Structure 1
Amino acid sequence: MKMVSPAFAWGGHLPARYALCGPGARNLSPPLVWSDAPRETASFVLLVLDPDAPRGTFVHWVVYDLPASVRRLDEGVSGARWLREGRNGYGKMGYGGPCPPRGSEHRYVFRLYALATPTLGLPAGATAAQVEAAMAPWVLAEAEGTVLYGR
């Protein structure tokens, strides 16, 4: 399975428009496109994580129960009524962009999972830990990309 963004390259820097703080920050969820999911895929999960956060891995976005027919998320889609989103590390629903401490640069890991179940049976607002536990027996494939953001 492959995942790309039309707005940035893996290994590069996340444009400020997708960040919560810093010059040019707009806190927009970034666009993503994926392909080559296994035939048996019934849904997708997306997690966006910051493993460099001072207090341990910080969750920026949790999306689950994405239908198998969905192969892209457009810029700014977070908050759309059709999208099942969980609670981020800021304690809010949906996408919460990067805001690393001044003078630091963090890695932001985008992980997309193809699942063999159409739904995880979780309510809106589930945490990343709840989603990871519920999806564990259903994972068929995964794609991952990392970008950097600093201020």
Structure 2
Amino acid sequence: MSPPLRFALCSALLFSSGVLHASDLFILQSPAFADNALLDQKFAGNDPKNANCTGKNNSPPLVWSNLPPQTQSLALIVHDPEGQRGLGVTHLVAYNIPPSATGFAPDALKSPNGFTGGKNTPGTNSWYGPCPPPGSGAHHYTFTLIATDLPPTLPAGLTREALFEKLKGHQLAAAGLIGRFGQ
């Protein structure tokens, strides 16, 4: 067999044996918005102490599929890297989500039922919708779902950073989704 033909055959075998089909990927989606699309005003925060919170503070529905087989719990973080002029704002820290869950219904993230609430940047343990200042452009709200091999026994009140410390070495895979919002 000629060297170019041998190379082509070996390459085809190598790539075909490791191909993942889209249906096998760990994915996170929302029926309320497409990846990198604008979030509806109703998902923005509603805080009388903050004039930038002009929405209803509804939490969007989320669905996921194809968890890694060894998953014992999930964690969900919603973070705005442009918030606080680049220092970032964490809008949700949720963990101890059971692997039997396949998503969250609309507004299910407004109270810690079905998850343990950590401490977000505003200091609450549940969904705190986007509140970007007018004129700062459309911020990117990154929803990251992490499959872990940890049992769902982490203590309540962990910040994003403290949760990441607990998850080190225990993360199996992550799926992400971005929603944008601006005033």
Give TM-score, length-normalised by structure 1. Answer: 0.93
Contact 2:112–2:126 under 8 Å retained in 1:
no
Cα shift at 1:16: 1.1
Moved more, 53-62 or 121-130: 121-130
Structure 2 residue aligned with 1:36: 66
Contact 2:60–2:107 under 8 Å retained in 1:
yes
Matched, 1:65 2:131: no
Higher share of residues assigned helix: 2
Contact 2:79–2:141 under 8 Å retained in 1:
yes
Structure 1 residue aligned with 2:147: 114
Write out aligned runs for 1:1-151 (5 A): 1-20=26-45, 21-22=53-54, 25-53=55-83, 54=85, 56-78=87-109, 79-104=111-136, 105-119=138-152, 121-151=153-183
**2: distance between equivalents of 1:41 and 1:71?**
13
User: Please, which runs of 5 or more residues in structure 1 have no aligned partner?
Assistant: none
Higher share of residues assigned strand: 1
By relative contact order (CA 8 Å, sep 6+), the higher-ranking structure is 1
Give TM-score, length-normalised by structure 2. Answer: 0.77
Cα shift at 1:55: 5.1
RMSD, aligned CA: 1.2
Q: How many aligned positions are there? A: 148
Instruction: Could you list the structure 1 runs, at least 4 aligned residues long, displaced by more than 4 angstroms after superposition.
Output: none
Identity between Structure 1 and Structure 2 (%): 36
Tell me which structure has the larger Cα radius of gyration: 2
Q: Deviations over 1:92-133 (max 9, x none)?
A: 1211000001112211100000001113x4321211111111
**1: distance between equivalents of 2:86 and 2:148?**
30
